[in-house]
Structure 1
Amino acid sequence: MSVGLVIRLIVLALLVAFLVSPQTFVFVFRPLVRAGQPVIYNQGSLIDLTLNHLAIVGTAMVLATALAVGLAILVTRPFGAEFLALSRSLANIGQTFPPVAVLALAVPVLGFGTAPTLVALFLYGLLPIFENTLTGLTNLPPTVTEAARGMGMTGRQRLMRVELPLALPVILAGIRLSTVIALATATIGSTVAARTLGEVIIAGLLSRNTAFVAQGGIIVGILAVLIYDGLSAIERMLMRRTGQAGRQA
């Protein structure tokens, strides 16, 4: 077991311990508060907020992945090539409007709560996944695709058995980027009453309690690093399995 993996497991264990029993870590955050202020966030359950935060991000990423990958597959087929510009414009919508602007536009239609945050994260996550999927599907080794055709595979068979498996590491890299961005961006959802870790940060800012801000920021930061590393490990494993690691090296 590598040193890096051991460190990550220790960090994960400490994060879980903090979420389950935050009062155990009072000594860590006490120097950050003024006299009379609570040391640990006391306006809700940290573990509930964390799980809800992850659920919102996970749902948005599943929806963004489904649409972005579907669009990339469509425009890389002969019958869908003419829709490339339109698909790219659609994927760019989330990057054109800042998440805060999307929230402001979505609230009058969807109301306060989780829904506007899901829309903002969904739109913001489309572009990296779409572009990576497009890159993965259009940069396949010609010899492999020609061999698949020579074996008599149909277009659907080539897509499912050859193209997507080979493109999967590149697709996963886009999902990894979108997920990490969404983890941080989801905190602004609390400004429209979504239950995310942004509640902790906002409460700290409003009460000038630095410990609350630190707690929310640290949880989000650790989650982002661990998820990034986890998806990177899966990506490397897929590259080894498809024989792409040696080629890139």
Structure 2
Amino acid sequence: MVYKALTIAGSDSGGGAGIQADLKTFHQFHVFGMSAITAVTAQNTLGVQGIYPLPVEAVEKQMDSIAVDLSPDAIKTGMLFSEDMIECVAYKIKQHRWTRVVVDPVMVAKGGSRLLKQEAVEALQRYMLPLAYVLTPNIPEAEVLTNMRIETLEQRKEAAKKLHDMGVKYVVMKGGHGEGNELVDLLYDGEQFYEWKSKRVHTKHTHGTGCTFAAAITAQLAKEKTIYEAVDVAKRFIQAAIEQTLHIGGGHGPTNHWAFHE
């Protein structure tokens, strides 16, 4: 059986994040990757030099084309950029009855460039969170979505509960922005928390870690794995990708998408 996954996100010309990172990750897990591109960015490891959103109609057509011929087993959303785009993507997900939806609430690039308009945050909360089978925010993104300050592990758990109350089925709270050398990633299923602990890798080459991690979860869900199994494999995948860095580019380089072997 051939498993299929669709990524709905922006294109990263540098290849470290966005559509490119998602497709590389799907491929590593032997999942056939498809894409609906929401925006084209001009970027490299030094930063984002330009963002060029596609028309909403173009995104609708891409999603419809996939739906009628190559129905995906799981979906991932990344950079949605604007309120109109978010509404469009949410409408099409509901129309096509896609349920295994991993929402990566991409807001800011590694170099600091904003990838989600401020006014689009409310649309993300209203339209996308209730459709999210899995939500994968980092700590700053969770702060924006919950409108609360997150500094402690208990506050992370409180935020995860708030996001679950907004309609998210499973919340995966990433710990990379936490303090100290031990990182803690959380999974909240509405009843209990699961924790993954890992050692911080001291490197600047972490561009695309969020995209890659969420894509790994998506690939596992496409293969009908449980949420716990999906997060567990994705966590090991991204840890290897960061540890075995490629050392390319003069800024925040990409992770190594071929480092992990099951």
With structure 1 as the length reference, what TM-score do the two structures score?
A: 0.29
Greater relative contact order (Cα < 8 A, sep 6+)? 1
Please identify the structure whose Cα radius of gyration is greater.
1
Structure number having the greater strand percentage: 2
